[in-house]
Amino acid sequence: MSEVSLDATTDPRLGEDCIRRLLELGFIPGESVKVIRKGFPYGDPIAFRIGTSTFALRAKEAQTIKVGLPQS
């Protein structure tokens, strides 16, 4: 599992509404995130799990989320 990095969660070019929605979904610094599945055949959408929630994002949105390895 990876975790959302502490430096930034999203690319500000997405727009305030999209950034707010990603934060509401749980993409907050330090939160664990796991890619569950990518759509076929082009990898869009991408299913993620954060905590006990599973949801999908378009690849364009998912590319703006920065993740890193958990810090021990």
Q: Measured between alpha carbons, how far is 7 from 58 in angstroms, rounded to an integer?
A: 22
Give residue 21's pLDDT. Answer: 82
Which residues, at least 6 apart from 35, have a Cβ–Cβ distance to it below 8 Å? 46, 47, 48
Q: What is the CATH number of the domain that holds 11?
A: 2.30.30.90
Residues in the chain, total: 72
Beta-carbon count within 10 A of 63 CB? 12
Give residue 6's pLDDT. Answer: 38
Residue predicted with more confidence, 71 or 53 = 53
What are the pLDDT digits (tens) for 36-68?
999 988 889 999 898 888 989 888 878 777 777
Whole-model pTM: value is 0.68
Q: What are phi and psi of 49, to 5 degrees?
A: -125, 125
The residue segments making up the domain with residue 53 are: 2-68
What are the pLDDT digits (tens) for 4-36?
653 444 556 667 787 788 888 888 877 888 889
Q: Measured between alpha carbons, how far is 29 from 27 in angstroms, rounded to an integer?
A: 7
Report the number of distinct structural domains present in the chain: 1
